[in-house]
Amino acid sequence: MSTLQSLDWIVIACYFGLILGIVWWSSKKLKKTSDSYFLAGREMGWFIVGASIFASNIGSEHLVGLAASGTTDGVALAHYELHAWCLLVLGWIMVPFYMRSKVFTMPEFLEKRFSPANRTFLSVISLVAYVLTKIAVGIFAGGVVFAVLLPEMNIMGMDSFWIGSLLVVVITGLYTIIGGMEAVAYTEAIQTVILIIGSALVTVFGLQALGGWSELRAIVPAEMFNLWKPLVPSGLEGTWSPVKTSTEMAWYFNDNYPWLGMLFCAPIIGLWYWCTDQYIVQRTLIAPNETQARRGSIAAAFFKLTPVFIFIIPGIICYALAVSGKIPALQHAILDANGVVIRENAQQAFPLMVAHILPVGVRGIVVAGLLAALMSSLAGAFNACATLFTIDFYARLRPGTSQERLVWVGRVATAVMVLIGILWIPVIRGGKGLYDYLQGMQAYLAPPIFVVFFFGVFWKRLNAKGCMAALIVGFAMGVFRLFIDTPVKLGAGFRYPEGTFLWIMNNVFFQYYSLLIFIVSAAVMIGVSYMTEAPALAKISGLTYGTVTEEHKQESRASWDARDVVSSALVLMLIVAAYLYFVG
């Protein structure tokens, strides 16, 4: 039986009507140029930029994975949300170089700094990664939400999971194809507001059902409010673990984020994602100038602090409501007969909260927020993929192509991404532990990209040969680990023989292996660069700190004032306050 009532459906219909109206308006004013279709004409203001960055980031890892992690592990993953400071690095350090270079894509920037070969290599890796991660998990989350909220829905033999997955991917694909980046940016701005308000209501009504914040702290073990997890596997010491697994898996899921990895590895992943990933950085490129791009990044940093309270905390509230027995439906859904959390069921935590604690009407607002997050994340992935394919491959193979043709190719590329996403649904649905697998994938693929971008900007002596060597070696190490991990993560009970080389590699904590990739990639890039010729300084003028001219410095200095500094300082203060509070 559906948990949505008539008023909820009216609210949801109004949301879709608003989205369709924005898409129609954007398509009418869309100019048939690559600048307009892929970067919204580079004329979006700071709020649209900031909201677009945030909405693109919020996807299934938050709706499904992050809330589920709150239910099983408490605030362990809040580290990733408190990486809002990485957006300040984007705005203050990387944006000046990106805006100055007038690029469409991050691989294109890599070409300007190093060589065309480096651009091609990164473009291929980025396209594959987007299809198998961002698009795949976005579709998966759509299915999970519909399966919980409309469990009895069945059309032509398809259950609610399939119906939800198809609806999310097709509707998002259509408005991305029709309206381009401008439609994506405006809809994401609206979706950000709906998402934050809707998700905040889950926290408010959840605490109300529980009896307040003090009751939450009284019910939930203190370990769930501790950001800093121990280095020693707690499962082996017999300490508290709410996850229903073996001792080995209790270690993996409960202490999968010990403080050492979070302190040194997580920032590398964060800086890669927020400062060098096409999926995110493309949002700053839609700004008309450095001022608007920087302020958009600062605004996104403020938005990024909210998931701790609108996703992780609701997950913890879900756990408290279940173990306290105050909401029997939650107790039956996520706990076994012994009162232990069933990890596989925890991914339903957020939609279960929506279904069982919200009043009619409010539930419709929050479901609209859920759909907003799913659609904005997918739209960002579709648009990023279309931009990468069209600009980094098609336009380079056919340099004389008209602007209208590039827009048409971008639309076709988006349609292909939609089709691949649909074909990938059975694979996603059949997987186990997909969220953790994707965390590992990012940890394995990010370090070499982080190295070539940040070392390339700060170190003018590093050259194209060093960059390519670092990318090849780093990605080879990452892919090697992925090949080892995949059978264990997705195979039914598959394990390597204990003590073998493959067993050792599989059991090295993924964040520590990620740090190894970073160290090796950095050493290779520096070593190869210094063994070969130095880059021509004229070629990299304005693309590194060592080649920034006085004119460039003056332009950048004129782009900010005291308001930007104070806003950035406030973000940092809020982050420090959160770290001080969540210490157990």
pLDDT at 162: 67
Tell the residue number behind the tokens 């700094």, with chain if given.
113
3-class DSSP state for residue 358?
Answer: coil
Candidates 153, 161, 63; CA nearest to 372 is 63
Instruction: Report how far residue 122's alpha carbon sits from residue 111's, in angstroms, rounded to the nearest whole number.
Output: 10
pLDDT tens digits for the chain (584 residues)?
A: 456 678 888 888 888 788 778 777 766 665 555 555 555 556 678 888 888 888 777 765 576 677 888 888 788 778 878 889 999 999 999 999 888 888 878 888 999 999 999 988 888 888 877 776 677 667 766 666 666 666 666 666 666 666 766 777 777 777 666 666 666 677 777 777 887 888 888 899 999 999 899 898 888 888 888 887 666 554 444 444 444 333 343 344 334 567 777 778 888 988 998 999 887 888 888 888 889 999 999 999 999 998 888 888 988 998 889 888 888 888 888 887 777 777 777 777 888 888 888 888 888 877 777 777 677 677 777 777 777 788 777 888 787 778 778 778 877 877 777 777 666 656 555 444 455 556 667 888 889 999 999 999 999 999 999 999 999 999 999 888 878 877 776 555 678 888 888 888 877 888 889 999 999 999 999 999 999 999 998 888 888 988 888 888 888 888 899 999 999 999 999 999 988 888 75
pLDDT at 250: 36
Q: Which residues pair with 335 in a beta bridge?
A: 341
pLDDT at 574: 94
Pairing of strands 154-155, 158-159: antiparallel
One-letter identity of residue 225: F
pLDDT at 253: 38
Domains and CATH numbers, the chain: 6-430 (1.20.1730.10), 431-548 (no CATH)
pLDDT at 337: 76
Instruction: Report how far residue 527's alpha carbon sits from residue 135's, in angstroms, rounded to the nearest whole number.
Output: 37
Helix, strand and coil in the chain, % to nearest 5: 75, 0, 20
Structure tokens at 28: 């009418």
Structure tokens at 381: 């992935």
pLDDT at 236: 45
Query: CA geometry: angle at 336 spanning 331 and 340, to 5°?
Result: 90
- Report yes or no: 108 and 119 within 8 Å, Cβ to Cβ: yes
Q: How many helices (H) and strands (E) does the chain have?
A: 33, 2
201 alpha carbon, distance to own chain's centre: 23
Candidates 137, 205, 209, 197; CA nearest to 368 is 197
Q: What is the DSSP letter of 226?
A: B
pLDDT at 448: 94
pLDDT at 151: 64
Instruction: Report how far residue 521's alpha carbon sits from residue 533's, in angstroms, rounded to the nearest whole number.
Output: 19
- Report yes or no: 190 and 379 within 8 Å, Cβ to Cβ: no
Tell the residue number behind the tokens 């009896």, with chain if given.
211
